[in-house]
Structure 1
C-alpha cells in the first residue's frame, strides 16, 4: 500500500525524521518496500497566471503568452493546446532547473523571445500526462513557490503488508500504528453525519445475509459529475497510486484509502426495481467497468437489481450501471462482506482490485456508516446534490463477534525471555485499542477491536506486545541445547553417496514438480488412475505424479527445445499411488529415477559421437547396486506401456520387483516431440540403499585359469540365464563369467544366436590343474545343455 508521508502526518505527527519513521514502521512488522519522492527534483518553478495569449506570428501551433508571476509579467512562447488567458499554471522562470541538468534560459522560438517555460505534469515528474500544461485552481496565488504550493517536499511510503494486517490497508490504520509506536495522539478527520435533504430511498434486499451481514445504501440526487476533482484530492490519490477519474469515483477511492472501506456508486437511472445482494445464477453474464465480459458461477456473490447483475460483490462494478458523464443521480453503497465469502473469487476470474484485496483480508464491520457519511459530505462539497437517508440492512447474527483473548504473564515472559512491567503491558494493549476486560497480576483478559481480525489467540497478543515494545529491545542470546550426534548406520548407504555415484556418471540432479498434467500421466501410465488435486495450481498440474519419469522427460524436452541434445538427469523423490479420500490407501513411494539422451561422450576431438544405448543405461543402473547388500538385480523383459518392448527390462532382487529401465517407447517419444531416443530408469530408493558391509578376503597367490566357450542357444534365451547356470555348476573355484561376443547371422540358424563367454577360475590354496578346470567346464556345459538347450559350437 502506498501512502503520502505528508498525508500521514496530517493524522499523526511524531517528532521524528522521515528515515526514523520508515525504520520504525518496518521494525513494527509493517515492512516498507521503498520510499519514493512524489515529484522529480526541480527548482525555480512558481505559480503563474496567463494574462494574455496570442498566436505566434511565425508558427501555427505556437502561442505567445504573457505570464504574471505575482510581481512582473514575462513573455513565454508555448505550444500547449490548452494555453489560454485566465488560467493558473506552473511557471519555470529563467534559471529554473528541471530534473538533473535541464536549465531554463532565455531563448528565441521562431524569432520571438521566450523568457521561461510553462510546464506540464510530466515535465515536473508528477504524472505521465504531457498533453498540455498543468492547470491549477484559480485560488492559487501567483508567485507562490510551486513545490510549497503542492507540498512536493514529500515522499511516498510503500508498505508491504502481510495478509493478516488488513487493518493497516488505510491511512487511518497506518496512523493508528504510528500513534501506538510513538505514544502520540491521532487526529482523525472530523466526520459529521449529513442531514437528509430529501426523503427518497431505494429498496435494498439482501438474500445472502451470511456473506453480506451489513449493507448500506443512500440516494444522492442532482450531482454534477462534470465538476473538477479538487487538486488536493487528485494529488493524494496520485501519491497513493490511484488515477483520478471523475469526482464521484475519486471520492469513493479517497474514502477507501483514508478509512479502509471500499465503496461503489451506481447510476440511479440505470437501476431497476431494487438492489439485491444475492448469489449469481450459473453462467449469468456481466460486463465489468474495465470492459471485460465475465461468465459468473453460482458460488459468486453479486450486487444486482431486479433484472440483471450490477457488480461482482467486493470486486468490481458493472459497465452499464456505473457513473457516466451524464449521470445526475447516484446510489451510493457501503457494505461488509465476510472475508471467506470473497476469498479467491477475484483471482478465479483473473481479477485483482483494491476492493477485493481489502475484503479478502477483512474490513472493519463497524466502518460502513462512518465511510458513508464521509463520502456523502465530500460528494456534496465537490459535486453538490441532495441526499436521502441511509438505508440499513443488517443481520447481527452473521457479523463477526469480538474475540476475547487472555494473555498469561507466565507465557509472555517465557516467549519474550523478559519480564515487562505490568503497567507497560497494560498500556501497550490499551493503546492498540484492546478493551481491558480483566487485569490481574497473572493475566490480562482483553477484547479485540473490530478492525483487528488477526487477534484471536494468546500468541497474537504476545506478538503485539513484542512489536510495540520493540524487537530490538528484546534480549538476544544463543540457544543452548544438548546435541546428540546419531551415528550413521553402516547398513544403509547414505543418499549423498547415491547422488555422488550418478554425478560421477555425468548426471545432474533435477527437482521437478510433484504435480503433473493429467494428460501426460495418461500418456505414460494409462492403466493407473493418478491422485487428483482438489485445488490445482493450474490445469497442467492437476494430479500427483504416479512416476518420476514424466517430470524428467518434460525437463529433457525443455532442454531439447534450447539446443541441448546431450542430457543426463536424475531425481530422488516420491511417487503417489492410491487415493487421498482414504489416506491409509495413499502409497507414497520414495524413488530414484534418471534419464539419458544424446551422445555417449561430450563433444571432443579424441573420441567419436556415438549415441547412448540400453547398455550405457544398464551400466549406470548397475553402478547404483554396486554397494547393495542384495547384490546385482536380475533383469527380465519388461511389459511397461511407456517403454520400448525390445529395449527395456524390469529389475528384481530376490524375485521382488524393484524398478524398471529402458528406452522410451518410440510412439510416445514422437508424440512428445523428442528428436532422439530417450533412456530412463525408475527404481525404489530402498532397493539401492541397503549397504553391503565390507568384508576382508585374502588375495590368492595362485594364477587364474580361463576357458572360452562359444554356445549356440535360442534367440530368446537371456545371457543372464547362461550366467546363472554357469555360476551354479562351475565349482567353488569359479570366479566369474564375461560375455565378449554375441553373433547372429550367416552360418547360424535364424532362431539361434552364438554367445561367446570367458570363464575364469582361481583357487585360494593351490594352482588349478587342467583336469580340475576341464571337469568344471564339462559340468557347466552339461547343465547348460540340459536346462537351456545350449550347444557348444564346433
Structure 2
C-alpha cells in the first residue's frame, strides 16, 4: 500500500513528524518499508507566464522569451523547447536556482546569468524531466491556467510531500485505504479523525433505475448501483486527483476510471462503471456457465465455468465480479449515460479466481482479503458526488439490494489471558481505551471483554486476535523484553529408548551427511524404486515432476547424489530421516479419509564412491554391500538383525537383502539395481539401506554377566553343504539348539569365518574333498563356563548338540580334508 503523507493528514493529523509517523505505524504492525520524497530537492523555481516569444536572431531553434515571474518586470529567458507559446504557464528557474542532478549520483545544476549566442538569458524554463518529476524532457512542463504567478513551484505542486510504502499482512485488508490507515493512526496516536465531508446522500434528479437480481447469494451478499445520465467524459481529471493517484502508485487513465480508483483508495471499496447504453436488460449476479467466454478490459479472453462469479445481463457475462470488467460494456469518450456499481462479494467467491486467469487487479486484491460490507453505499455516494462535480450529469435513485451479509459474532477476551500472553500487566481501563480508539463495540464484565467486530474488521475472530490488537495499539516497542518464567521438571529418560537427536548424531558419526528433501517426487521414481504405480497424488503440485508423495526415500537420495556428481564430487555419503507416505489398498467402511494413509518415520542412507578418502596407507576400493551393512549393524547394536536374501525392485537381485528384527521386516539393504544405475547414469553402483526409524529408536538395556575367570574354548568346524544353501538358516538352527539343548548351554558364540568354493579340475576338487556343487563353511564356536574349566567330553557333547539338527535339516557333512 502506497500513499502520500499529505493525503493521510487531510483525514487525521497527529502532532508528530514524518519519521515519528513511520515509526508509530511500524510498531503497530503496519511495517513501513520505505518513505521517499515525491520530488528531489531543488530551489529557486517559480510559476511563470510567457508574455512574448520571438525567434533568436542568431539561432534557428532558440527562442527569446519575455517571462513574467511575479517580480514586477519581465525577464528575458532563452528557450529551445518546441512547445513554447505565448500565454502558457511553466516552471521557471531563476538565476541562482539549484536544480536536481540529471542522473543518480550526479551533482546539482546551478542556474547562472549567461549569454546564449549573444543574447543574455536570466534563467531557464523547465521541463518535468529537468526537475526530475518525470522522464519527459521533450517539452516544457505546462501548468494549469489558474497557477499563481511567482509562487514557488514546490509550494504550488505540493512537492514537499513524502510517500509511504507499507507492507501489509493479508489480515489487514482494512488498511488498504486511506480511511483505514487514518483509523489506525487515530487509534495509535490518540488523535481524532477529521469530519469527513463526503459519503452523504446525493440529490436525486431523475427516477431511472436498473433492476438488479442476485442469483448467487453465496457469492454476492450486497449489490448497489445507480444510473447517472448526461455526463461529459471528455473533461480532464482534476490536477489534485491526478497528483494523489500518482503518488499512491496509480496512473491516470480517464476521468471516470480515475474517480473510481480514487474512491477505492480513499474508502477501500472497489467500484465499476458500465456504459448504460451498452447494457442489455437487467443485471444478474450469478456464477458462470461452462462454455461462456468474456473479453476483459485488458483484452484478455477468459473461459468461464461454474466456479467463477460474474455480473451478467441479457447478453451474458459483462464482468468478472470483484476482479475486472468486460470490454463489451466499458465506458469510452462517446459515453453519456452510465451505471455505477458498488457491491459486496464474499472472499471465498473471489479468492484464487484471478490467479486462475494469470492476472490480478486492485479490486481482486481487496475482495480476496475482505471488503467492508457496509461501505458500498457510502462509496457510491462519494463517487456520485465527484462525477457530478467534475463531469456534470443527473443522478438517479440508489438501488441497494441486500440478500445476505456476514454475521459479526461477538468475541470474548479475558484480561488475565491477555496479561499472560503479553507478559506484562495491562489494566482493564487501558484495554477499554484501546478498544474505544479502534472503534470496537464492547461490554466488559468480571474481567472479560465481549467485543463485536465492526464490518471492516474481518481479522477479529478469536481471543488471540483481540490480544494482538491490544499489543499493537499499546506498542510492540513498549512491551518489556522479559525472559519467560516456567516451572522446570526433571523428566526420566528411558534407557532403552534412543531419541531422534541421538540417532541423527549416530548416523553422522558413521561419516554420513544429513540431507533434507521435498516429500513429493516424480511419479516415475515411485514406479521405478518402490514399484508404486498408484502413489498418493497432489491436487495442486508445485511442479509437474513433483506430483506425488513419496513412499520411499531412495529416489530423493539418488537425486542428491546426481546433483553432487554433476559438480565433480567423487565420494558421497548421505542420509535422511523423514516420513514416507502410503495408502491402504482398500478403505475400511466408515473410516475417516485420514485413516486410509499411514506415514511411518523412515531412515535411509546411501554410500557412493571410495570407502575412504584417497590416502597412501590404504589402497582405494569402491564401497560395497558389506561396508554399508556394517554401518547399519553398528546403528542397531546391541540388537542383531537378520539379513534375508530377497529381491527388491530398486536393488541388485544378487546383492540385496531384507532386514528383519525379532521376526519383523523393517527395511531393505543392497546395491542399486544395474537397470537404474544405467538409467540414472551412475559410474558406480550406490549402496543403500532404508529402515523404519522405530527399529533404531529401541535399544536393548545392557545386563550384567559375571566375567569368567576360566579360559574360553574355541572349536573350528568346517561343514560341506550345497552351494545354493544360504548360511543364515544354518546359524539360526545352531542358535535354536543353543537355547533348547541343555548340552549346548556353554556355547557363547557361533561365527561364520570362512566360505570356500573350489575351482579347477576334478583332481583338485577331490584333493580338497569337495564336489563341484558343494561349498565349505567354516564356523568358529566359542564355549565357556563361568564355574569351571570345560572338559573335553562336555565340549564334544555341546558341539554334537549344535551340529545334529544341522546334519538332519540341511544334509550337511563335516569336511574330511
Normalised to the residue count of structure 1, the TM-score between the two structures is: 0.86
Residue 626 of structure 1: aligned partner: 637
C-alpha spacing 1:764/1:43, structure 2 compared with 1 (3 Å): farther
- What corresponds to 1:487 in structure 2? 492
| 1:737 paired to 2:758 | no
Higher mean C-alpha displacement, 160-169 vs 413-422: 413-422
Alpha-carbon spacing, 1:73–1:223, altered in 2? closer, same or farther (3 Å): farther
Q: 1:653 and 1:424, CA in 2 relative to 1: closer, same or farther beyond 3 A?
A: closer
Structure 2 counterpart SS, 1:499 = helix
1:168 aligns with 2:189: no
Written as runs of structure 1 = structure 2, the 5 A alignment for 1:250-289 is: 250-289=258-297
Give yes or no for the alignment of 1:552 onto 2:570. no
What SS does structure 2 have at the residue aligned with 1:682? Answer: strand
Query: Larger radius of gyration, structure 1 or 2?
Result: 2
Distance 1:570 1:678 in 2: 13
Q: Which runs of 5+ in 2 are unaligned?
A: 585-590, 739-743
- Give the structure 1 partner of residue 406 of structure 2: 400
Deviates more, 1:666-675 or 1:210-219: 666-675
In structure 1, what is the Cα distance between the partners aligned to 2:340 and 2:220? 16
**Against the structure 1 CA distance between its residues 707 and 540, is the aligned structure 2 distance closer, same or farther, given a 3 Å change threshold?**
same
Distance 2:707 2:361 in 1: 78
Gaps of 5+ in 1: none
Distance 1:166 1:788, change over 3 A: same
Instruction: Find the counterpart in structure 1 of residue 156 from structure 2.
Output: 149
> May I ask how many residue pairs the two structures share in their alignment?
786
2:350 to 339, 342, 345: 342
- Partners of 1:775 and 1:537 lie apart in 2 by 69
CA distance in 2, matches of 1:57, 1:674: 83
Deviation at 1:226? Answer: 4.4
Please say if residues 266 and 332 of structure 1, whose CA atoms lie closer than 8 Å, have aligned partners that are also in contact. yes
CA change 1:633–1:35 in 2 (3 A) is same
Deviations 1:545-566 (A, max 9, x none): 3233333334444444555454
- In 2, distance between residues paired with 1:753 and 1:39? 95
- Cα distance in 1 between the residues matched to 2:500 and 2:446: 54
Partner Cα separation in structure 1 for residue 56 and residue 728 of structure 2: 100
User: How far is 1:528 from its partner?
Assistant: 6.5
TM-superposed CA distance for 1:258, in Å, is 0.6
Segment drifting more, 357-366 vs 216-225 = 216-225
Please state if 1:588 is matched with 2:595: no
Q: After the TM superposition, which residues 664-679 of structure 1 pair with which residues of structure 2 at under 5 Å, given as runs?
A: 664-668=672-676, 677-679=685-687
2:188 is equivalent to residue 186 of structure 1: no
Return the offset for 1:777. Answer: 7.5
Deviation, structure 1 residue 502: 1.7
Give the corresponding residue for 2:322: 314
Deviation at 1:281, TM superposition (A): 1.0
Aligned-residue Cα RMSD (Å) equals 4.1
Cα separation, 2, equivalents of 1:754 and 1:113? 115
**Counterpart-to-counterpart distance in 2, 1:413 and 1:623:** 52
* Alignment-derived partner of residue 40 in structure 1: 40
1:150-174 deviations in Å (ceiling 9; x for gaps): 2232222222233332222110011
State yes or no: 1:616 paired with 2:627. Answer: yes
C-alpha change, 1:488 and 1:426, in structure 2 (3 Å) is: closer
**Structure 1 residues 59 and 521, CA, compared in 2 at 3 Å: closer, same or farther?**
farther
Aligned to 2:741: none
CA offset digits 1:226-272 (Å, max 9, x no partner)? 44333322222222222222222222111111101011223344433
CA contact (8 A) 1:301 1:313 kept: yes
Q: 1:218 aligned to 2:226? A: yes
Compared CA separation, residues 773 and 409, structure 1 to 2 (3 A): closer
Structure 2 vs 1, CA of residues 276 and 56 (structure 1 numbering), >3 Å: closer, same or farther? Answer: farther
Distance of aligned partners of 1:109 and 1:734 in 2 relative to their CA distance in 1, 3 Å threshold: farther
Instruction: Call closer, same or farther: CA 1:407–1:718 in 2, change over 3 Å.
Output: closer
Asked whether 1:496 is paired with 2:501, we answer yes
Please say if residues 455 and 461 of structure 1, whose CA atoms lie closer than 8 Å, have aligned partners that are also in contact: yes
1:710-738 Cα offsets, whole Å, 9 max, x none, are 76654433343455456667964564535
Take 1:646 and 1:320, find their aligned partners in 2: how far apart are those partners?
Answer: 71
Correspondence for 2:693: 685
Aligned twin of 1:434: 440
Output the CA distance in 2 between the equivalents of 1:672 and 1:58: 79
Deviates more, 1:195-204 or 1:570-579: 195-204
1:228 aligns with 2:249: no
Contact 1:742/1:753 (8 A) holds in 2:
no
CA distance in 1 between counterparts of 2:120 and 2:510 reads: 79
SS in 1 for 2:368: helix
User: 1:571 and 2:576 equivalent?
Assistant: yes
Match for 1:96 among 89, 92, 98?
A: 98
Provide closer, same or farther for how the CA distance between residues 518 and 224 of structure 1 changes in structure 2, counting only shifts above 3 A: farther
Q: 1:44·1:92 contact (CA, 8 Å) conserved in 2? A: yes
Over residues 636-665 of structure 1, what are the superposed CA-to-partner deviations in whole Å (9 max), with x where a residue is unaligned?
Answer: 133333333333221001221111122334
Q: Is the 8 A contact 1:35 1:156 kept in 2?
A: yes
- Does the 8 Å contact 2:747/2:798 carry over to 1? no
Aligned positions of 1:450-489 closer than 5 A: 450-471=455-476, 477-489=482-494
- Secondary structure, counterpart of 2:220 in structure 1: coil
